[in-house]
Amino acid sequence: MQGAQSLSKLAWGLAIHMTSRNNGPQSMRAVIGRERIEAVARPGETYEQVAARLQREGNEESRLVAAPKLQPATRVRKPSKGDEQQDFFIPTVYDVGIRDSRNIMDVAVFRLSKKERRAGEVITYELRDGNVKVSAGPAGMASVWDYDLVLMAVSHLTEAMNRYRDGRGEKPGRVFRPHVGDVLKFLRRAYGGKQKDDLVETCLRLNTTHVAVRRTEKGKNGRTITVNEGEPLISRYKVIENSSGKPEFIEIEVAQWMYQEITGGKNPDVLALHPDFFLIGTGIGRFVYRLARRAAGKTEARWSFQTIYERSGSAGTFKEFCRILRGIVEANDLPEYTLTMEAGQSGPQLAMAHRRRMVDGAAGV
């Protein structure tokens, strides 16, 4: 290491002397010095050859230091300006932890693409005990970014139910009515006119994207029955604008089936999401994180690329999906989970391991 540092200093010294305005270019021998040349000379080398070699090696080292190694493109965006700054005049509605409905975290009940609206389309997922159909209205299918608003409602409904169970509040209803500023803060988005206006279209798409579930289960008498039920992602909505024509408040009614999952049992059937979920920039990246959270939890899980593709509802080809998924694995910057690609019996598979488990395993816990 000491020799490398000396070589680097020598290279920088050469650059300074060779470009000196006062003294002008000098000979290699004058710059480096006779004693240094003799110290590093190889058998058969002349003074000029030694000096030239040192300069080449110094320039190469400087180039490597100056040019950092290229890293895979990140799939997680940077937080918006003021993301960490808490405004004292805004209620702490955005301090609630993010929650998601566990039962729909391994299928995409929304589109993953920002560009393709998929108006009027139907996505069908075949499962072991039934199927799920997602139908889009004329305004387009709700996107995974639209679904952020559902996550906010689920999160606050869960928090309110926890307070109710602890005797610290009344049982919450299905209607959620936040200020637009609180919504954007919770979703970790910039606070601007466009972001406010986009929420109107978000509500429309959520209200016109229908999810139908058909499942087989055991009845009270032990006989097998089939249940069919369906509802939009939100039952209804209302957007209240201020005198300037900008959205001020949003009122949404949580779907009945989602409300029942959170309020009907002893504990809400939800899972906590990492706060940086909202910073994941790609739709497939968001889906993979939700899948890992459901399938791997605090441990690990493996899913084939083919199954992930089928559960994602992607409109692209399997080849393109695999290309994007490999990029996500290479970047490996999704919250909480380390992703690796492995060879499976029927093709590549994705290994999802919780980072805490990996740390504990390495420590022998």
**End-of-domain residue from the set 255, 281, 307:** 281
Specify whether the CB–CB gap between 32 and 56 falls below 8 A.
no
**Is 152 among the domain residues?**
yes
| Cβ neighbourhood burial of 291 (10 Å; 0-12, 13-18, 19+) | buried
* 289 and 277 part of one domain: no
**Is 72 among the domain residues?**
no
* 91 and 202 part of one domain: yes
Mean pLDDT (whole number) for 143-163:
95
* 120 and 57 part of one domain: no
* 206 and 304 part of one domain: no
Distance CA 91, CA 211 (A): 33
**Is 71 among the domain residues?**
no
pLDDT at 268: 82
What would the pLDDT profile of 285-332 be if each residue is shown by its tens digit?
A: 999 999 999 999 999 999 999 999 999 999 999 999 999 999 999 999
Q: Which residue has the higher pLDDT, 237 or 55?
A: 237
pLDDT at 217: 85
**Is 61 among the domain residues?**
yes
- Give the structural domain span for 203: 77-281
| Whether the predicted pLDDT of 31 surpasses 50 | no
Count the domains in the chain: 3
pLDDT at 85: 37
* 261 and 122 part of one domain: yes
pTM: 0.73
The C-alpha angle with vertex 212 and arms to 206 and 218, in degrees rounded to 5, equals 140
* 271 and 288 part of one domain: no
